[in-house]
């Protein structure tokens, strides 16, 4: 019999949040902990991860470079050994080099793909192996509206975010029989350190705000609810999905309201 009151609870579950030092990762750590999960806060910025852990009452934080297989294995295996398993993975780190593709250097292209796509692959693979053996788990990758719509200067970033969607779908197909769910959250414009430079350009900032149905940017904390949903039993039949959390950006057609 379904316990309706516990649908969104995560009591007794162990979560690893990559990118927990700031932005959406920090918000995810707060949301998962509030729902009852034991959260391991990880980030390349170890001091930031430790501060987030302190905020949520966790004693577990680790330096983690998701682009390094040794770092990933050390953190994932350590969490498994300490807690007896791993139930939830949320991975958020990303980088964007905003420039036309014809002006991209090979190094810049490699840098964007290495973190956004390869890093997400390495951490999802390591967590997926643990979850596959234990026959349960939820993997949540952070995609973007740029997986669906794009603008000049976002080519490499958009390619990685679209790639994450297909990777999540493939993992969902491959791990479903083992009881592991894999989904993407696709935010719109969110106020995070990654988008901070845009705030200094009011025309750019306001143009993005006016593009979505709600007429504003999202706060990082507004991504926590969808992440908790996908981690919880409320989403027990949701896998291979992309949850757009974009204020209606991908639903509306342009900024013009016709006289109807």
Catalytic residue, chosen from 104, 157, 208, 237, is 157
Please enumerate in sequence order all residues whose Cβ is within 8 A of that of 69, keeping only pairs 6 or more positions apart, or say none: 122
- Select from 249, 55, 66, 71 the least CA-distant residue to 147: 249
DSSP state of 118: I
Say if CB 194 and CB 19 are below 8 A apart: no
H helix and E strand count, the chain: 9, 9
Residues 123, 212: Cα–Cα separation, whole Å: 32
Q: Is 208 a catalytic residue?
A: no
Cα separation of 196 and 161, whole Å?
A: 19
Bridge partners (DSSP) listed for residue 182:
139
Residues 168 and 120: their CA atoms lie apart, in Å, by 10
Closest by CA to 91, choosing from 60, 56, 121, is 121
**By C-alpha distance, which of 153, 176, 157 is closest to 239?**
176
User: Is the separation of the CB atoms in 144 and 161 below 8 Å?
Assistant: yes
The rounded distance, in Å, linking the Cα atoms of 242 and 238 is 10
Structure tokens at 176: 């479903």
Enumerate the active-site residues.
157
């Amino acid at each position: 019999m379904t316990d309706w009151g516990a649908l969104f609870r995560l009591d007794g579950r162990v979560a690893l949040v990559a990118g927990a030092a700031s932005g959406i990762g920090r918000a995810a750590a707060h949301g998962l902990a509030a729902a009852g999960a034991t959260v391991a806060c990880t980030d390349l910025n170890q001091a930031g991860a430790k501060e987030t852990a302190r905020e949520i009452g966790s004693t577990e934080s680790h330096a983690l470079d998701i682009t390094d297989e040794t770092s990933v294995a050390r953190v994932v295996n350590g969490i498994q050994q300490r807690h007896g398993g791993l139930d939830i993975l949320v991975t958020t780190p990303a980088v964007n080099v905003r420039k036309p593709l014809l002006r991209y250097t090979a190094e810049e292209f490699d840098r964007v793909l290495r973190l956004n796509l390869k890093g997400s692959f390495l951490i999802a693979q390591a967590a997926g192996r643990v979850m596959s053996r234990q026959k349960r788990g939820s993997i949540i990758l952070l995609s973007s509206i740029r997986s669906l719509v794009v603008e000049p200067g976002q080519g490499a970033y958009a390619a990685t975010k679209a790639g994450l969607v297909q990777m999540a779908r493939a993992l969902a197909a491959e791990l479903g029989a083992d009881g592991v769910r894999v989904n993407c959250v696709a935010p719109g414009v969110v106020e995070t350190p990654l988008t901070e430079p845009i705030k200094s350009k009011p025309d750019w900032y306001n143009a993005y705000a006016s593009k979505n149905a709600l007429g504003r940017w999202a706060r990082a904390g507004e991504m926590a609810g969808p992440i908790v949903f996908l981690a919880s039993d409320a989403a027990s039949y949701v896998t291979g999905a992309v949850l757009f959390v974009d204020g209606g950006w991908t639903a509306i057609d342009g900024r013009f309201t016709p006289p109807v």
